[in-house]
A and B are shown apart, each in its own frame.
Chain A
Amino acid sequence: MADIIKLGLFLMLVAAVAGLGVGYVNNVASPLIEKQILKEKIDSFKEVYPGADKVENESAAYLKSDADPALKEINIAYKNGKQSGVLYLVQSKGYSGLITILAGFDISTHKITAIKVLSQSETPGLGDKAKEPKFQDRYRGKNAATALEVVKTEPLKEHQIQAITASTITSKAVTKGVNAAREHFGRTFVDAKTN
C-alpha cells in the first residue's frame, strides 16, 4: 500500500514538473503565436485588397442572421476615412473538407480585387492547386454583377472561370464561396447605392 502511494506521488511530481515546463513554454510562445496569426491575417488582407489605410471587422453590422451561412466574416477596408472595399471570409465545402477563402471587392468599381484560399485540405497535387496564384488570379477583376461559372476549357465569357485540371469539384467549391460573397456584396454595397 505504502508503495502504491509512493509511486503515485512520484508520478504526480513528474507530471507537475512537466506541467510547469509546458506552461512556461506556452507563456513564452502563445503571444508569438497570436502575433503570427494576426500578421498572417493582415498580410492576406493586403494581398486581397491592397492599398487600404485600415481594415475593420464589421461582421456585426453587415452579417445578418438570414445571410448565406457560407459567409463567416465581413471586413470593411477604408481609404481616406471612406469605405472603399469589402473583404469577405467565406467557407465552402470542397472535395475533402472545408475551404476557407478570403475574397476582396472594390466598392467603386464593383469588381473582385483578388481572392485567396486561406486553408484547405484538398488532395495534394490536384485540388490543393487552388492555393496557387495561377488559379486564384483567374478571379481577379471579375465583375461582381453576374454569377461566376466554372468551365473546363478556356473561358469565353467574362463571368467564366477555368477549372483546375482534374479538380472540378474544388474549383466549383471555391467559386460557390466567391459567389456567396458576390451576391451579398451586390445586395448590400451596390444596389443600396444606386437606389
Chain B
Amino acid sequence: MNLMQEFTKGIIKENPLFRLMLGTCPALAITTSVENGLGMGAAFTGVLLASNIVISLMRSIIPASVRIPAYVVIIASFVTMTDQLMHAFTPGVYKSLGIFIPLIVVNCIILGRAEAFASRNSVVPSIVDALGMGLGFTIALVMVCTFREVLGSGTFLGIQLLPEGIPAILMILPPGGFITLGCLLGFLNKMQKKYAL
C-alpha cells in the first residue's frame, strides 16, 4: 500500500513539472511534437531509475560531505550511456532532442530525487519512486506536447488532424511553449483547488 503511494505521488501530488516546477527547460524546448515528449520522458525515466538504484544501494558507503559530487558523477555517467544508446538505436529521436539529452544531467529532478529520496530509502521504494516520478514527468511532457503539436502543426504523433492553414505556427515556436505551459499550470491550479487533489 505504501509503495502504491510512493508511485502515485510522482504523478499527481508531487508531479515534478506541474507541482515542483522542476525540469522546465526540456518541458519548453523539446515539446514541439508528441514523439519528442515520449522520447525525452523515456530517456529521463531511464536515467532517474538507474541513478536512484545505484545511489540507494550505495547510500551507506557514500560519505556525507562528498555526496553531491558523487551523485553528479553517477548521474552524468548514466546520462552519457543513455545518450550513446539513443544515438545508436533511435537516431531520429536523438537528432530532434539534440542538446537536451546531455542536459538531463542538470535536470534538477534527478539530483533532487537522489538527495531527497534514494539516499534515505532502500532499493525497492527508490525504484518505485523513480518510476512514479518518471511517469509523472512523461505525462506532463506529453500533455504539453499534445497541445503544441495539435495546435501548431495540426498533427498528433504525425497523423494529420487539422487541415493545412488552420494550425498556428506560433505554437511550435518558442512563445507557444511558454504560453502552453503557463495556461496549463493555471488550469491545473484551478482544478486542484476545486477538487482538492
Contacts and interface: CB of A to CB of B under 8 A. Distances in A.
Q: Does chain A touch chain B in the assembled complex, meaning CB atoms less than 8 Å apart?
A: yes
A189 to B, nearest CB: 33
Contact of B88 (A6, A19, A29, A40): A29
B103 interface: no
Interface string A20-41: 0110011001101100100010
A15 interface: yes
Contacts of A21: 77, 81
B22 interface: no
Most buried by B among A14, A19, A33: A14
A172 B152 CA distance: 25
A67 interface: no
A81 interface: no
Interface in B21-63: 32, 62-63
Given A18-B74, A21-B77, A29-B84, A7 B65 contact: yes
B73 A18 contact: yes
The SS class assigned to the A binding surface is helix
Nearest to B71: A14
A125 B66 contact: no
B172 A11 contact: no
Nearest to A21: B77
Contacts of B63: 6-7, 10
Given A124-B173, A125-B169, A125-B173, A11 B88 contact: no
A26 B81 CA distance: 7
A123 interface: yes
Interface string A159-183: 0000000000000000000000000
Contact of A7 (B66, B169, B172): B66
Nearest to B77: A18
The SS class assigned to the B binding surface is helix
Contacts of A32: 88-89
B85 interface: yes
A145 interface: no
A14 B169 contact: no
Contacts of B91: 36, 40
Contacts of A42: none
A25 B84 contact: yes
A36 B66 contact: no
Given A11-B73, A32-B88, A22 B153 contact: no
A7 B80 CA distance: 24
Contact of B84 (A6, A10, A33): A33
A125 B87 contact: no
Most buried by B among A26, A40, A123, A124: A124
Contact of B69 (A11, A29, A40): A11
A30 B84 contact: yes
Interface string B77-95: 1001100110111010000
Given A25-B84, A25-B85, A124-B32, 8 more contacts: A10-B63, A11-B69, A11-B70, A25-B81, A26-B84, A30-B84, A123-B173, A124-B173
Per CB-CB distance, the 3 closest pairs between chain A and chain B, nearest first, are: A32-B88, A18-B77, A125-B169
19 contacts: A7-B65, A10-B63, A10-B66, A10-B70, A14-B73, A14-B74, A18-B76, A21-B81, A25-B85, A26-B84, A29-B87, A30-B84, A32-B88, A33-B84, A33-B87, A33-B88, A36-B91, A125-B152, A125-B173
Interface of A: 6-7, 10-11, 14-15, 18-19, 21-22, 25-26, 29-30, 32-33, 36, 40, 123-126
